[in-house]
Amino acid sequence: MSAKAISTATADRRQAQLEALIAAAEKRICDSGMHSLKARDLAADIGVALGGLYNIVQDIDALLLLVSSRTLARLGEAAQTATAHLPVSTRAEAIDRLVMVAQTYLTFARENLPLWRMIFELRLDSPLPDWAAQDQLRLFRHIAEPLHAIMPELDTVALTVRARTLFAAVHGIISIGLEERLIAVPAQKLSDEIAWLVRSACRAHA
């Protein structure tokens, strides 16, 4: 083999190991939560020595960021599939699409509960790398696009703030709801109440 072929093979093997490691971390987070994740277990899962693990990722924080990034990418795909084809030509259509974005978020959170929780529980020792920040910010276009059609008078800064307000409000309802806390909106009412809130926020603005 040429030097180039060898280096491509090495890169492929590294990539395959990284994918296996992310998959192993996802499985363990789903089974027993983020806080019980141990490097030693993950190394055993993918059949490398503990030292070998740190040739694949720098540390557990770096791995958790990759897991979080993959979850966010899947959330983005879910939003894209469920809502991007919906029209925003009229105000009513844009409101319907925004409600669908919120309900897609609820469904995703329900179906990916441990991985979804992890994104918000993650506390890093170092600042969020730029690519990870972009992963999060990019998702807001699913809110900002219909919102711009609903509130066309808002400038870019005001629209960004408003998108964050609506996101955090819906996230709060889902987050307390799916934890099934005493004070939660009952699970079977979550979808209706989220739709009510989003529609109210949009309608009052007219």
Does residue 162 bind a copy of itself (CB under 8 A)? yes
CA distance readout (Å), 205 to 58, 95, 142, 149, 158: 48, 11, 19, 12, 14
Does residue 186 bind a copy of itself (CB under 8 A)? yes
Angle subtended at Cα 136 by Cα 65 and Cα 42, rounded to the nearest 5 degrees: 15
Cα separation of 120 and 118, whole Å? Answer: 5
Q: Min. distance of Cβ 135 from a copy of itself in angstroms? A: 10
Closest alpha carbon to 63 in 137, 2, 122, 146: 122
Classify the C-alpha dihedral 33-30-137-18 as positive or negative: positive
Q: Measured from the CB atom, is 148 or 205 closer to a copy of itself?
A: 205
Tell me the number of residues near a copy of itself by CB under 8 A.
34
3-class SS letters over 12-30: HHHHHHHHHHHHHHHHHHH
Single residue of 1, 3, 5, 204 touching a copy of itself by CB under 8 A? 204
Cα separation of 13 and 79, whole Å? Answer: 32
Does residue 196 bind a copy of itself (CB under 8 A)? yes
Q: Min. distance of Cβ 149 from a copy of itself in angstroms? A: 17
Does residue 176 bind a copy of itself (CB under 8 A)? yes
Does residue 201 bind a copy of itself (CB under 8 A)? yes
Does residue 32 bind a copy of itself (CB under 8 A)? no
Single residue of 9, 30, 49, 133 touching a copy of itself by CB under 8 A? 133
Q: Min. distance of Cβ 12 from a copy of itself in angstroms? A: 33
Cα separation of 184 and 51, whole Å? Answer: 44
Q: Min. distance of Cβ 96 from a copy of itself in angstroms? A: 15
Q: Which residues in this chain contact a copy of itself in the complex, by CB under 8 A?
A: 128, 133, 136-137, 140, 161-162, 164-165, 167-173, 175-177, 182-186, 189, 193, 196-197, 199-201, 203-205
